[in-house]
């Protein structure tokens, strides 16, 4: 296929007007966004002499009575032309949902076009052909397209963040990764059941405390209520409250000790499994990977799963139990007040869904930063004699400073984003306190709600916010866990190029 055949037939007239022959076209790539991000149809046409950009829109009509498209018309808005000799380099700036094509001309970056993720492969080929053209190299289209296809996700068209790992963070099945991570708990299933039991008992004792401190203390002990036998018996109620706190504390200590052993042992098993899997891989795998990146997967990624097993999954179950139990109690006390308190929750859930993809990208960048930093440090230390022999200390310092800057910026971006998003979410959730004291206080004045119930309601609200805030923080550790888990399973699932026989027999020697 000739490169000129990439252009649709409705562009023939525009090529004729610009005096461009299809025979002279080296490559043509369509862009589907304008500089503001609105959908349009632009064409970038590369010849030996110049790069031509046709900005416009196309319109197609359907034939009557059929679904087939009739004639397509293209409306040209403007034309931009750049000499190939003036373009030093064509750069693709990757973004979340696409990218920007930039030309380096006279040391300055010049905007060419924007495009969605489905067009990234096309512009990668365009940049590759331009590079060969500048270097006076022979252009082999099949090799270039095959090379670009290796670096592009076949499902969504985005470039792989790391060409050495054919993994697309946008398309990886996070559900299957989550299930596989949970499978490591199977060896400790009975201890896990015991852990969850004490966690649920601790949560139940915690849910009972506001009822004692609110309804019983204020409505039955400090005032004459429905049960006159409790009036004035403050000592008994204080002992009951203290007993509930001690039970809660005891169960918390037991669950903490069990949880620590389970999480540590699971991470130990993961490290052993990853290291054993690496021993079965062929030399080709290690030659394509940096030593520092492998160290990161064995140590750092496994350690990141500690948070998932220690503070993540167990407490997610408990907080879900507390959330459901607290909601049941609140609705039984006052339906109207509970509905008002829950008004900010949909907004919080929407914000959580919005920031999840962004955090996932930021954590991936942080991993690439620490992996590059570890690889550079390892290579420098193992080859320190060579560095000294050739007097390259200054170069190594500059390389390390650059890698350290990349990693530092990635960590700063995560901290800045999280420090901005999560406090706003917590502020929305905690706004329910004002609703309680406002609407709840009004109901107390009207006699529709007792003061003890108002106090208990406020305490239950604090218990409700804790799991909701925890659920909002799930976005943070979930992104980190899925990214680390995917890299670990990449090692475990790697297929060696050469299989060793399970039961080898010795060769006879003469």
Q: Please give the average per-residue pLDDT across 194-210, as a whole number.
A: 82
Mark whether 112 and 211 lie in a shared domain: no
Nearest to 359 by CA among 473, 504, 189: 473
Give the CATH number of the domain where residue 36 resides.
Answer: 2.30.29.30
Domain contains 501:
no
Mark whether 241 and 125 lie in a shared domain: no
Domain contains 82:
yes
Mark whether 142 and 193 lie in a shared domain: no
What per-residue confidence (pLDDT) applies to 290?
A: 62
Mark whether 188 and 137 lie in a shared domain: no
**Residue 3 pLDDT grade (very low, low, confident, very high; cuts 50, 70, 90):** low
For residue 365, give its domain range. 178-492
Domain contains 247:
yes
CA dist 196 → 113, 124, 316, 319, 326 (Å): 55, 51, 11, 11, 18
CB atoms within 10 A of CB 33: 20
Q: Residue 264: helix, strand or coil by DSSP?
A: helix
- Cα distance between residue 432 and residue 338, in whole Å: 9
Sheet holding 87-94, edge to edge: 69-83, 50-62, 39-46, 27-33, 108-116, 98-105, 87-94
What per-residue confidence (pLDDT) applies to 379?
A: 72
Mark whether 233 and 133 lie in a shared domain: no
- Torsion sign, CA atoms 309, 310, 313, 318: positive
Q: Which of 99, 132, 150 is the last residue of a domain?
A: 150
Quick: pLDDT tens for 409-466.
888 988 888 888 778 777 776 677 777 778 878 887 877 777 777 788 778 877 777 7
Mark whether 115 and 220 lie in a shared domain: no
Domain contains 159:
no
Domain contains 162:
no
Mark whether 267 and 142 lie in a shared domain: no
Q: Please give the average per-residue pLDDT across 52-74, as a whole number.
A: 67
Domain contains 466:
yes
Domain contains 505:
no
Q: Give the helix ranges, DSSP H, for 334-392.
A: 335-341, 345-382, 384-389
What per-residue confidence (pLDDT) applies to 404?
A: 86
Mark whether 222 and 265 lie in a shared domain: yes
What per-residue confidence (pLDDT) applies to 2?
A: 64
What per-residue confidence (pLDDT) applies to 122?
A: 81
Quick: pLDDT tens for 303-341.
777 777 777 777 777 788 888 888 888 888 888 888 887
Burial class of residue 315, CB neighbours in 10 A (0-12, 13-18, 19+):
middle
Is the model's pLDDT at 42 over the cut of 80?
Answer: yes
User: Residues with Cβ < 8 Å from 103, sequence gap 6 or more?
Assistant: 51, 82, 87, 89, 90, 91, 109, 110, 112
Mark whether 73 and 21 lie in a shared domain: yes
Domain contains 170:
no
Q: If you average pLDDT over each of 96-110, 153-167, 367-381, 430-444, which comes out highest?
A: 96-110
Domain count, the chain: 2
Mark whether 107 and 183 lie in a shared domain: no
- Beta bridge mates, 56: 41, 76
Mark whether 122 and 190 lie in a shared domain: no
Give the CATH number of the domain where residue 189 resides.
Answer: 1.20.1560.10
Quick: pLDDT tens for 370-412.
877 877 777 777 777 777 777 778 888 888 888 888 888 888 9
**Residue 476 pLDDT grade (very low, low, confident, very high; cuts 50, 70, 90):** low
Tokens 């064409």 sit on residue: 43
Task: Give the lowest-confidence range in 107-121, 236-250, 310-324.
Answer: 310-324
Mark whether 241 and 294 lie in a shared domain: yes
What per-residue confidence (pLDDT) applies to 4?
A: 62
């Amino acid at each position: 296929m000739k490169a000129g055949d990439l252009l649709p037939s409705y562009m023939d007239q525009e090529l004729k007007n610009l005096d461009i022959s299809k025979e002279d076209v080296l490559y043509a790539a369509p862009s589907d966004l304008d500089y503001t991000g609105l959908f349009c149809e632009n064409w970038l046409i590369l010849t030996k002499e110049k790069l031509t950009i046709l900005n416009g829109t196309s319109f197609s009509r359907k034939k009557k009575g059929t679904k087939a498209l009739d004639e397509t018309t293209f409306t040209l808005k403007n034309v931009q032309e750049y000499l190939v000799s003036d373009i030093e380099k064509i750069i693709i700036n990757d973004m979340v949902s696409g990218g920007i094509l930039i030309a380096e001309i006279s040391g300055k970056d010049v905007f060419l076009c924007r495009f969605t993720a489905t067009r990234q492969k096309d512009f990668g080929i365009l940049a590759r052909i331009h590079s060969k053209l500048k270097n006076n190299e022979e252009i082999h289209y099949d090799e270039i397209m095959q090379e670009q296809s290796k670096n592009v996700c076949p499902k969504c068209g985005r470039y792989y963040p790391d060409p050495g790992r054919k993994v697309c963070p946008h398309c990886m099945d996070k559900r299957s990764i989550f299930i596989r991570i949970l499978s490591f708990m199977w060896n400790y299933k009975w201890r896990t059941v015991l852990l969850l039991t004490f966690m649920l008992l601790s949560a139940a004792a915690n849910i009972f405390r506001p009822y004692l401190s609110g309804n019983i203390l204020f409505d039955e002990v400090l005032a004459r209520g429905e049960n006159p036998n409790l009036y004035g018996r403050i000592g008994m109620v204080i002992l009951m409250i203290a007993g509930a706190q001690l039970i809660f504390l005891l169960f918390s200590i037991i669950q903490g000790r069990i949880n620590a052993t389970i999480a540590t042992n699971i991470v130990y098993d993961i490290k052993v499994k990853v290291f054993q899997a690496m021993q079965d891989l062929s030399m080709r795998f290690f030659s394509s990977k940096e030593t520092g990146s492998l160290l990161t997967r064995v140590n750092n990624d496994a350690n990141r799963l500690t948070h998932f097993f220690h503070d993540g999954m167990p407490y997610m179950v408990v907080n879900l139990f507390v959330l459901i139990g607290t909601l049941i109690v609140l609705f039984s006390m006052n339906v109207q007040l509970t509905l008002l308190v829950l008004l900010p929750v949909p907004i919080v859930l929407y914000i959580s869904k919005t920031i999840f993809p962004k955090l996932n990208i930021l954590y991936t960048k942080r991993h690439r930063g620490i992996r590059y930093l570890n690889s550079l440090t390892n290579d420098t230390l193992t080859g320190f004699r060579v560095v000294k022999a050739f007097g390259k200390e200054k170069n190594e310092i500059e390389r390390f400073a650059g890698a350290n800057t990349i990693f530092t910026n990635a960590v700063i971006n995560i901290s800045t984003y999280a420090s901005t998003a999560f406090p706003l979410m917590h502020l929305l959730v905690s706004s329910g306190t004002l609703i309680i004291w406002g609407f709840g206080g009004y109901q107390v004045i009207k006699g529709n709600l007792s003061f003890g119930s108002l106090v208990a309601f406020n305490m239950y609200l604090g218990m409700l916010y804790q799991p909701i805030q925890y659920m909002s923080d799930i976005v943070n550790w979930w992104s980190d866990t899925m990214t680390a888990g995917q890299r670990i399973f990449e090692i475990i699932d790697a297929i060696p190029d050469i299989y060793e026989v399970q039961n080898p027999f010795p060769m006879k020697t003469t």
